[in-house]
Structure formats: structure tokens, C-alpha cells
């Protein structure tokens, strides 16, 4: 029983971690709390669904299609909405507010386009029969989730540490003006980060859509609340922190649902967020930082 | 003359009352926004006020003024707990801390039988009338105007222009922010209770994220340079979808679009109250 719960917690926590990685990456590099990020969860899941239903693609091809589509949508959205504000050096709060309007706009348009009802991925994509591994009963989707998250996180770390664009992204995160003087193409880095983070969000959305067997226009909202808790607890912009806090949140939610009450599960992220702000406002691994002026 | 006015009131009653409560909600957002703080808990605070008020009327039958006072006090208390840790952090942190409150409360309302569960509370007596709603709006508006012309107003202006400089000049920035948040939550709660006592029904899904962003759109459209701004913004964004029927289905799209367009095209006009020291000096 406990082993099963721990395994379920690992699965849920790794999806949360994947989602939060992109969220914290956007903040770390662009210094923007991008609420549109939650929209890409649903955008990716719907794009993958359309790819399966209309184009007849299989699981992995549809997943890739959804991820790339959401990434491209994000590049366009950020260019239209955030780039003008960055050029004007507008305050942090303006960028937050503009993405807030943006997410209301996009979610509502999505609901008008696709309807509010819950849609499902067809069962043919993936076997539904659980596999017994020792004491555990493992659904194939759970294996897909763990494998996908592991590969994507490893790829992200490799990309950030070992490639030229990754180095450029870290340079811009550190000091955008200096990076520009050193010849880094800041516009390209910004677009790259938009694409990359939305792709992570979409990947999490597709995995959640498959796992809960539900895709709907507002599926990003509960994820956003969890994302906020994770990036605040992990430290804004801290990739390692997001990974740890994401897994921890999955663990806490599964244990709360399993041993206390499934209704309380929805309150776990919010409680953790408020406690985190009271106790460790700079995040788990945070240094006491001065204000960024 | 009197009868035509009565007819008008009767046929557009809920719209006219809605203008009043939404204007109070717009002002509740103004209270925090004018200090460079963003609260996304306004809908949740409104919900706390609505549920507190409705339950006190339905279960205890308390007199209406007492109900309104309790409906303002309850969310103010919640704001102290939730906003407390963010007062020394940036305005963005208050937004992060408050954004989840509505969703958590929604789940709580649905799962609490005493609060009507998923069906909500109905049959709330219609105790709020034109004079109560617009009388309170006038008092609140007058309060904000008086405050903005006093020492308090100048301190608020100093804080939104440059928080650190204001602190150096001896303004207790955290105290101002906390007071603004508490007042803001109390006003939202008041508006929620008024709303519950003329629509006679409240449901768990009315106080979610979309409502919070709509309240923000009132303040953004009207601007926060004067207290009249959010009132005007609330009037326009409440009346327009009712008068232009085709707009009605696209109400949320429209509210979202208003926010995006105003912030992008008037970044320093309506929201340009915080000058970035690293940026170019603002053209003024």
C-alpha cells in the first residue's frame, strides 16, 4: 500500500516538476511571472488531441506535435505581448498584469472554439492494463510519464550546461545588458526560452491529459496554482529547487489524498505556498537576497 | 416622472445594482494597485463576504448593518494571514500569494454542506436596495478622495513612485501596504455581501479566477490615478456587455483584451506609476 502510494507520488510529482521547470525558467531569464504559461498546458493537450483525431498520429508523434505547436504559439504570444513591454522597460507588475489579461483572453477563446466539455484521448493510444512489478501495480501511462520526464529533464540540464544557446540563456538570466554587449542575441534567447518553457508546459499538459483521461480548456488553472507553490518554495528562477519542490508537492498531495481526505488535496499547494512565504520567502535553497532594483 | 424612474429601476434593477457593487470592487482593487501591489484575491475576498453575509442573514437573522460589518471583517482577517508574509516582498509576491485562494475556497464551499455545497445558497432575502448600495459607494468614493488629498495620499504617491526612497523619508511602507490590503479585502467582502442580498443566490463557482481578473480589468481600464477611474471602468465594463448583446458571450474575451491593450499601449499612462531606476527616465 505504502509502496504503491510512493510510486503514485513519484509519478504525480515528476509531472509537477516538469511543469514547474519551464515556469521557473521563464521567470529566471525573462524576469516575468508569465500567467500565459498555464494556457500552454491546455494548448499542448488540445494540439496533441487534434493530431490524434484528425491526423491519425500515434502517441509519440502526437505528443511531439502538441509540444512544438504550443512552443510556437508561445513565441508568437510573447512577441506580441511581452516584447513591447520589455522594450519600454515597463515594471514587473505590468508584465504580470498583461499576461493575466492574456490568459483570460486565450482560455475564453479556447472555450468558445472547443467547448467547455471534457474530451478524452482515444484508448487505442496506450494499453490500459496495469502491469504488476513486484508489489506495485503500474499503469503503462505511469511508465510513459516517468520515462518522458526523466529524458526531458536530463535533456534540459544538458542543453543549459553544454550548448552555446544554453550558455547564452544563462548569461542573459545573469545580466541581460552585459550579455548583449558580449554579442549574445538577446531576442533569439528570449524566443528560445519562450519556446522551451511552453514546450515543457505542453508536455506536462499532455501527460496530465493522458493520466487523468481528461482534456479541457481550463486544465491549466489548477496546474498554475501548483506551479506557483513550487516556484516560490523552490525559489524563483531556481531550476534545481523547482525539481525538488515539484516532487515534494506530488508526495504531499498523494499522501494527503491517501491518508487524510481527497478533498484536502486541493488545499495542499496553497497551504504550502503560504507557509513557504511565511517561513522561507527566498525559497528552499535561497540566499537572503537584496531587492532587485 | 417618479413612475418612469421606477420602471427603469425595475426592468434594469440587477444591472443597476451590479454597477454599484462592481464599482465598489473596482475601488477595492484601486486600494492596493495604487501602492504598486497586485491582489488576485479580490474575487475570493468577495466570496468570503458573500458567504459570511448570506449565512448570518439566513441562519441567525442578524440585522443588515451588522451583517455588512461582519462581511467586511471576515475577508479582512483572511487578508492579514495571507498578505502578511508578502508585505516586505515585491508587489508580485502578493499576486502569487492571493491567486490560489479563490480555487481553494471554491473546493471548500463545494464540500461543506452548511454552505450549500455545489448548489450554493439560495433564497437570500433581498435586503440591499438602491440607496444602500449607492450610498455606500458614495461614502467609499468620498473616503478615497479625501485620503488622496491628505498626507496619506502623498505617502501613497511616494510609495508608488519609489518604495525605497519613501522608506528613507520615514514612511512606514509595510504598514501602508498592509492597511491598503485590509481595506481592499473589506471592500470586496462588502460588495460580495451586497451582491448576495440582491441577487438572492450565491454559488461556489462565482468567485473564481475569471472574476478576479474581471475586477482587475475595471481598475486597469479606468486607471488608478484617481479614485473615479475604477468606478468609471466598472460602469463601462458592466454596462457594455448588457447593452450590446453580441458582446455578452465574449464578455471574458473582451475583459482580457482590454487589459492586454491598455497595458501595452499605455504602459506608462495608466500603469506607469513605478519608475524603474535602471531604465530611461520617463518622459514627463
CA gap A205, A199 in Å, rounded: 10
Q: Which residue of B has its CA nearest to A101?
A: B256
Is the confidence at residue B220, as pLDDT, over 90?
A: no
Q: Residues near A174 by Cβ (< 8 Å), separated by ≥ 6?
A: none
Phi-psi region of B28 (alpha: psi -120 to 50; beta: other; left: phi over 0): alpha
Nearest CA among A159, A162, A167, A195 for reference residue A183: A167
Nearest CA among B99, B107, B103, B106 for reference residue B82: B99
CB A198 within 8 A of CB A22: yes
Q: Give me the phi and psi of B76, to 5 degrees please.
A: -60, -40
A275 belongs to a structural domain? no
Name the E strands within A48-188: 131-133, 136-138
Is the confidence at residue B72, as pLDDT, over 90?
A: yes
CA gap A250, A258 in Å, rounded: 12
Testing the interface with A: which of B90, B92, B167, B181 to mutate, by most A Cβ within 10 A?
B92
Q: How far is CA B42 from the centre of its chain?
A: 5
A125 belongs to a structural domain? no
- DSSP per-residue codes, B108-120: HHHH-GGGTGGG-
Is the confidence at residue B74, as pLDDT, over 90?
A: yes
Is the confidence at residue A66, as pLDDT, over 60?
A: yes
Looking from the CA of B83 toward its CB, the CA atoms found within 13 Å total: 29
d(CA B4, nearest CA chain A) in Å: 38
Q: Which of A102, A108, A278 sits opposite B260 (nearest CB)?
A: A102
**This prediction's pTM:** 0.84
A181 belongs to a structural domain? yes
Q: Residue B202 belongs to what H/E stretch?
A: strand B201-202
pLDDT in tens, B223-262: 777 888 888 888 888 888 777 767 777 878 888 888 888 8
The answer to whether the Cβ–Cβ distance between A101 and B220 falls below 8 Å is: yes
Is the confidence at residue B271, as pLDDT, over 70?
A: no
CB B199 within 8 A of CB A83: no
**pLDDT given at position B175:** 86
Chain A residues touching B99 at Cβ < 8 A: 224-225, 228
CA gap B240, A236 in Å, rounded: 39
User: Quick check: helix, strand or coil at residue B122?
Assistant: strand
Torsional sign, CA B32, B37, B42, B48: negative
A251 belongs to a structural domain? no
- What are the C-alpha distances in Å from B138 to residues A232, A238, B11, B131, B228? 40, 47, 23, 10, 11
Task: Report which of residues B240 and A289 the model is more confident about.
Answer: B240
Is the confidence at residue B272, as pLDDT, over 70?
A: no
The answer to whether the Cβ–Cβ distance between B253 and A108 falls below 8 Å is: yes
**pLDDT given at position B2:** 56
Nearest CA among B175, B184, B181 for reference residue B155: B175
The answer to whether the Cβ–Cβ distance between B250 and A93 falls below 8 Å is: no
Percentage of chain A beyond pLDDT 90 is 18
Range of the domain at A55: 13-116+131-217
What domain count does chain A have? Answer: 1
Is the confidence at residue B31, as pLDDT, over 60?
A: yes
Region B43-55: mean pLDDT is 93
A37 belongs to a structural domain? yes
User: Quick check: helix, strand or coil at residue A134?
Assistant: coil
Nearest CA among A265, A249, A262 for reference residue A15: A249
Q: Which of A97, A266, A293 sits opposite B263 (nearest CB)?
A: A97
The pLDDT-based confidence of A287 (bands split at 50, 70, 90) is low
Q: Residues near B48 by Cβ (< 8 Å), separated by ≥ 6?
A: B71, B74, B75, B78, B105, B189, B192
CB B33 within 8 A of CB B224: yes
Name the E strands within chain A: 131-133, 136-138
CB B76 within 8 A of CB B189: yes
Q: Give me the phi and psi of B34, to 5 degrees please.
A: -70, -10
pLDDT in tens, B121-172: 888 888 888 888 999 999 999 999 888 888 888 888 888 777 788 888 888 8
A229 belongs to a structural domain? no
The answer to whether the Cβ–Cβ distance between B263 and A266 falls below 8 Å is: no
**pLDDT given at position B282:** 43
pLDDT in tens, A179-223: 888 887 888 888 888 999 999 999 999 999 888 888 888 888 888
**pLDDT given at position A290:** 44
CA gap B284, B282 in Å, rounded: 6
Is the ipTM value over 0.90, yes or no? Answer: no
Region B91-119: mean pLDDT is 83
A257 belongs to a structural domain? no
The answer to whether the Cβ–Cβ distance between A100 and B268 falls below 8 Å is: no
Amino acid at each position: 500500500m505504502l509502496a504503491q502510494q510512493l510510486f503514485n507520488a513519484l509519478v504525480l510529482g515528476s509531472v509537477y516538476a516538469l511543469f514547474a521547470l519551464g515556469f521557473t525558467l521563464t521567470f529566471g531569464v525573462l524576469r516575468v511571472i508569465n500567467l500565459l504559461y498555464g494556457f500552454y498546458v491546455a494548448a499542448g493537450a488540445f494540439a496533441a488531441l487534434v493530431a490524434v483525431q484528425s491526423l491519425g498520429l500515434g502517441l509519440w508523434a502526437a505528443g511531439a506535435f502538441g509540444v512544438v505547436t504550443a512552443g510556437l504559439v508561445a513565441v508568437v504570444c510573447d512577441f506580441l505581448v511581452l516584447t513591447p513591454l520589455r522594450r519600454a522597460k515597463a515594471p514587473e507588475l505590468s508584465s504580470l498584469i498583461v499576461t493575466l489579461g492574456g490568459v483570460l483572453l486565450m482560455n475564453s477563446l479556447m472555450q468558445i472554439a472547443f467547448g467547455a466539455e471534457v474530451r478524452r484521448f482515444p484508448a487505442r493510444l496506450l494499453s490500459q492494463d496495469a502491469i504488476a512489478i513486484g508489489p506495485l501495480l503500474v499503469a503503462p501511462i505511469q511508465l510513459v510519464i516517468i520515462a518522458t520526464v526523466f529524458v526531458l529533464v536530463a535533456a534540459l540540464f544538458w542543453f543549459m550546461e553544454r550548448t552555446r544557446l544554453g550558455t547564452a540563456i544563462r548569461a542573459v538570466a545573469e545580466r541581460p545588458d552585459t550579455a548583449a554587449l558580449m554579442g549574445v542575441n538577446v531576442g533569439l534567447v528570449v524566443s528560445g526560452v519562450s519556446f522551451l518553457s511552453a514546450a515543457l508546459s505542453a508536455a506536462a499538459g499532455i501527460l496530465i491529459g493522458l493520466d487523468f483521461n481528461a482534456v479541457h480548456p481550463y486544465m491549466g488553472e489548477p496546474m498554475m496554482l501548483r506551479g506557483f507553490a513550487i516556484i516560490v518554495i523552490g525559489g524563483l528562477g531556481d531550476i534545481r529547487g523547482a525539481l525538488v519542490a515539484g516532487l515534494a508537492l506530488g508526495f504531499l498531495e498523494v499522501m494527503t489524498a491517501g491518508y487524510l481526505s481527497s478533498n484536502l488535496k486541493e488545499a495542499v499547494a496553497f497551504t504550502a505556498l503560504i507557509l513557504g512565504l511565511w517561513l522561507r520567502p527566498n525559497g528552499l535553497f535561497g540566499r537572503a537576497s537584496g531587492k532587485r532594483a | 416622472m417618479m413612475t418612469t424612474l421606477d420602471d427603469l429601476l425595475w426592468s434594469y434593477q440587477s444591472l443597476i445594482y451590479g454597477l454599484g457593487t462592481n464599482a465598489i470592487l473596482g475601488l477595492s482593487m484601486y486600494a492596493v494597485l495604487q501602492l504598486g501591489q497586485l491582489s488576485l484575491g479580490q474575487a475570493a475576498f468577495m466570496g468570503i463576504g458573500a458567504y459570511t453575509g448570506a449565512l448570518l442573514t439566513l441562519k441567525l437573522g442578524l440585522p443588515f448593518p451588522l451583517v455588512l460589518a461582519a462581511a467586511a471583517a471576515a475577508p479582512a482577517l483572511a487578508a492579514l494571514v495571507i498578505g502578511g508574509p508578502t508585505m516586505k516582498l515585491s508587489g508580485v509576491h502578493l499576486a502569487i500569494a492571493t491567486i490560489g485562494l479563490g480555487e481553494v475556497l471554491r473546493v471548500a464551499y463545494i464540500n461543506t454542506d452548511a454552505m450549500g455545497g455545489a448548489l450554493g445558497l439560495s433564497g437570500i432575502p433581498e435586503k440591499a436596495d438602491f440607496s444602500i448600495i449607492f450610498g455606500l459607494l458614495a461614502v467609499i468614493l468620498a473616503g478615497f478622495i479625501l485620503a488622496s488629498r491628505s498626507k496619506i495620499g502623498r505617502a501613497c504617491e511616494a510609495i508608488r513612485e519609489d518604495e525605497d526612497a519613501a522608506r528613507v523619508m520615514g514612511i512606514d511602507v509595510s504598514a501602508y501596504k498592509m492597511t491598503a490590503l485590509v481595506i481592499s479585502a473589506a471592500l470586496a467582502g462588502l460588495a460580495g455581501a451586497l451582491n448576495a442580498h440582491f441577487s438572492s443566490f450565491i454559488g461556489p463557482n462565482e468567485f473564481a479566477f475569471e472574476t478576479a481578473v474581471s475586477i482587475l480589468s475595471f481598475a486597469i481600464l479606468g486607471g488608478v490615478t484617481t479614485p473615479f477611474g475604477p468606478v468609471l471602468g466598472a460602469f463601462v465594463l458592466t454596462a457594455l456587455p448588457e447593452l450590446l448583446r453580441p458582446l455578452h458571450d465574449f464578455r471574458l474575451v473582451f475583459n482580457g483584451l482590454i487589459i492586454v491593450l491598455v497595458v501595452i499601449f499605455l504602459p506608462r499612462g495608466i500603469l506607469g506609476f513605478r519608475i524603474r531606476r535602471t531604465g530611461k527616465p520617463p518622459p514627463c
